[in-house]
Amino acid sequence: MKYNLQTGEFYSNVEDVEYATKYIKDVISIYEKPEVAEEVLEQVTYEVQVHNPHGEIEGALQFGTSRIKAGDINGEFFMTKGHMHEVANRAEYYLCLSGKGLLLLMDEERKTTAIDMSEQSICNIPGNVSHRLVNIGEEDLVVLACWNSDAGHNYEQIATEGFSVRVFKTENGYIIKEV
Ligand code: M6P
Ligand code: ZN
């Protein structure tokens, strides 16, 4: 198997790769103002592919790509759902392949740090930290991720309490607003 560092795609004898497509309708509840036209709900907002040959085995690693489209919902930039790990102490690496984004990292006291992500930006996400990618650019944001196979995803806390900041479009770029 091969991995294209330009596009973030696995190719050639692709085995043990899982693909997921997220539509706006799947994630609309994460936005501050979720009122949108019916046809917007059917649009793709991000895609994930993950190579995990070993299942959820302690000590094993998995590796994948998130590709977040450019766009916004009532001024709030497209973003991933965001999660903590189910095994909360599991860490993760993110490496940006292309595009322009922010990586939001929120600790257990709800303190959020926004890290700039552009080509070659690399970030070590510690355990016990919620993480979300926001595309603040005009092209796809493509980010490679590597983390433990047994980490799991805990979406509950983010679904109920959200992050402590939101990222909105402005005339010249973006603004991070505390909520
Ligand atoms: C990265 C990894 C995955 C995650 C994906 C999308 O590829 O962190 O574990 O699933 O981003 O993020 P989310 O699941 O929060 O939508
Ligand atoms: Zn993660």
Distance 88 CA to ligand 2 centre (A): 10
Which residue from 80, 63, 84, 76 is spatially nearest to 146, judged by alpha carbons?
Answer: 63
Query: pLDDT of the chain along its 179 residues, tens only?
Result: 999 999 999 999 999 999 999 999 999 999 999 999 999 999 999 999 999 999 999 999 999 999 999 999 999 999 999 999 999 999 999 999 999 999 999 999 999 999 999 999 999 999 999 999 999 999 999 999 999 999 999 999 999 999 999 999 999 999 999 99
Residue with CA nearest ligand 1 atom 9:
153
Query: What is the position in ligand 1's atom list of the atom closest to the CA of 131?
Result: 15
Q: What is the pTM of this model?
A: 0.98
Ligand nearest to the CA of 91: 2
User: How are strands ordered across the β-sheet holding 100-106?
Assistant: 112-118, 100-106, 130-135
Query: What is the position in ligand 1's atom list of the atom closest to the CA of 132?
Result: 15
The residue whose two tokens read 């930290």 is 129
Which residue from 128, 83, 105, 99 is spatially nearest to 176, judged by alpha carbons?
Answer: 105
